[in-house]
Structure 1
Amino acid sequence: MVYAIFSASILLAMAAIYAGAVGWLYFRQERLLFEPDGLAGDDPICIDRDTREFFIDVPGARLSVARMTLPDPRGVFFFMHGNSGNLKKWFVELDAFRRANFDVVMFDYRGFGKSTGRIESEEQLRADVEAVWKHIEPMYAGRRVVISGQSLGTGLAAGLAARLCSEGHAPDLTLLVSPYSSMRALAAELYPWVPMRVLRYPLHTLAHAARLLGPVMLIHGEKDELIGIHHSEQLQKAMRSAQLLRVIGAGHGDVHQSRAAQEALMSALGRL
């Protein structure tokens, strides 16, 4: 009898701990998903003469945007970065885009870099992407458009590209580097003990895949330790036409630095 009571008490305590952990995850999951680094207002993102910084006001925040502007660009490379750092980390290696004659535009999510506010929902994230795109889109009327994202940003990039396709304005290239089929699927692999209904950022990239028109390029490291390459394989199967570049020896954080990935991107831009 005593043993039964003791066992029941342990089970109740474990259930309470589990419920507490799940509850904390539900209300504080932004701390797990996003790893922003702030940037002082007087700390330049880039000192290159053909780049500039500006802000776009959105409800409850100001988004920091960096743009490389060429004299007569063939088009724009609009990029959504991963879940860590800030634009000073991501707005780099611009010479290749100069040679390809493409402007580059990136922005920091809320709480990253010089952007104010904080991320509160997937809907808010996607609305911020739309706000930045609608600001720069008129500047590139009649020019080539590349919508791109890496890691976290791939779900956002796919969503924007799918929306453009549905309105008859398909990007000339959609580029996804280290994409996930959905954040929900990835979380199920990394945290199998967490109920999926707790995840407030499902980011269903796969749901957008079938709606993408025009050229699509997926780049994935074969040794990606965070987002397995099977996510890109699943996305490729769901798309009408997509090229998957498997980068031998590359992991999650270094795939974009590989020579194979850089040459493939420049080759794709050259064909547009």
Structure 2
Amino acid sequence: MTIIIIILSGYLFLYIRQEHFFFNPKVLEKDYIYTFDQPFEEITIPVEKDVALNALLFKRKNIPSKGVILYFHGNAGAIHEWGMRAPLYTENGFDILFVDYRGYGKSDGFYKKESELYHDAQKVYDYVKTRYVEKNIIVLGFSLGTGFASYVASKNNPKLLILEAPYYAWNKFITSIAPVPTILINYEIPSYKFLAEVTCPIYIYHGTNDFLIKPEENSKRLEALYPNKIKHVMIKGAGHNDIYVTKQYYNEIKQLLNRY
């Protein structure tokens, strides 16, 4: 009986505090000053009354860009760290916008329900459209961010959707790594449903050694659902967080961005 009580108590604690487990933000002071080796613009994007998201826009140096990449990052850190990836994309023709979710970095608030995730993602996309022609927008998501990227691509008309280490659905991913009943997970984030409505080309990159979001249970399942819409590339030897530092990924992205 004691074991059952402990298990049920654990489930209750997870249910109540799941946002703090699923989202692992790095909080920055509002007066934090960003420093990078290339030009950037700090932006505040209002998403609702008294809630604004903090973002960084990195631009090509002295050369007009072909467009912009809207980057939805993973579940940890903040854009003072994610922004270090900017040169890979700006050196290949595109500006890139990194945005912190609610509760991350210098962004306001914290998420309480799934609909807020989608609301904010669309608000950010709407902002990007005020700065760039939509046909020149690429949406890119990594890990947690792949669900948001898939959502905005399904509701809009970007040039391209790039997913790095995507999950099939967030709730199914969580139950695959922890003995938690699906009913306790408040966030479904069903990427597999969103991709059905995406009309632009979709490219997926996934590490062969990703033991967190396993390709067989996630990206390969997505490819199997939409074989005519998805180009799936396995990055040999890459784990979950080190895809972007591999030579293969660098070459793949370079070729892709030069093509578009």
Candidates 218, 223, 248, aligned match of 2:204: 218
Candidates 44, 52, 55, aligned match of 1:65: 55
- Matched residues, number: 255
Instruction: Determine the C-alpha separation between the residues in 2 that align with 1:15 and 1:237.
Output: 39
Candidates 139, 144, 149, aligned match of 1:152: 144
Instruction: Determine the C-alpha separation between the residues in 2 that align with 1:101 and 1:245.
Output: 21
Question: Are 1:45 and 1:91, in contact at CA under 8 Å, matched by a contact in 2?
Answer: no
In the other structure, the counterpart of 1:270 is: 258
Task: Give, in angstroms, the shift of residue 187 of structure 1.
Answer: 1.6
Instruction: Determine the C-alpha separation between the residues in 2 that align with 1:49 and 1:42.
Output: 20
Instruction: Determine the C-alpha separation between the residues in 2 that align with 1:266 and 1:184.
Output: 33
State the percentage of identical aligned residues.
Answer: 27
Q: TM-score, normalised by structure 1?
A: 0.88
Candidates 217, 221, 224, aligned match of 1:234: 221
Instruction: Determine the C-alpha separation between the residues in 1 that align with 2:87 and 2:8.
Output: 51
Candidates 117, 123, 140, aligned match of 2:115: 123
Instruction: Determine the C-alpha separation between the residues in 1 that align with 2:200 and 2:6.
Output: 49
Q: What amino acid sits opposite 1:201 in the alignment?
A: Y
Candidates 197, 200, 217, aligned match of 2:186: 200
Instruction: Determine the C-alpha separation between the residues in 2 that align with 1:97 and 1:246.
Output: 20
Instruction: Determine the C-alpha separation between the residues in 2 that align with 1:45 and 1:150.
Output: 22
RMSD, aligned CA = 1.6
Task: Give, in angstroms, the shift of residue 225 of structure 1.
Answer: 1.4
Deviation string 1:152-204 (CA, Å, 9 cap, x unpaired) is 0001100110111xxxx2x2211000000011111221123x22111011111
Candidates 142, 145, 153, aligned match of 1:161: 153
Q: TM-score, normalised by structure 2?
A: 0.92
Instruction: Determine the C-alpha separation between the residues in 1 that align with 2:89 and 2:234.
Output: 22
In the other structure, the counterpart of 2:175 is: 188
In the other structure, the counterpart of 1:257 is: 245
Task: Confirm whether residue 19 of structure 1 aligns to residue 8 of structure 2.
Answer: yes
Task: Confirm whether residue 53 of structure 1 aligns to residue 39 of structure 2.
Answer: no
Question: Are 1:34 and 1:84, in contact at CA under 8 Å, matched by a contact in 2?
Answer: yes
Instruction: Determine the C-alpha separation between the residues in 1 that align with 2:11 and 2:139.
Output: 35
Instruction: Determine the C-alpha separation between the residues in 2 that align with 1:50 and 1:99.
Output: 13
Q: What amino acid sits opposite 1:62 in the alignment?
A: A
In the other structure, the counterpart of 2:233 is: 245
Q: Where do 5+ consecutive residues of structure 2 fail to align? A: none
Structure number, greater radius of gyration: 1
Q: What amino acid sits opposite 1:67 in the alignment?
A: L
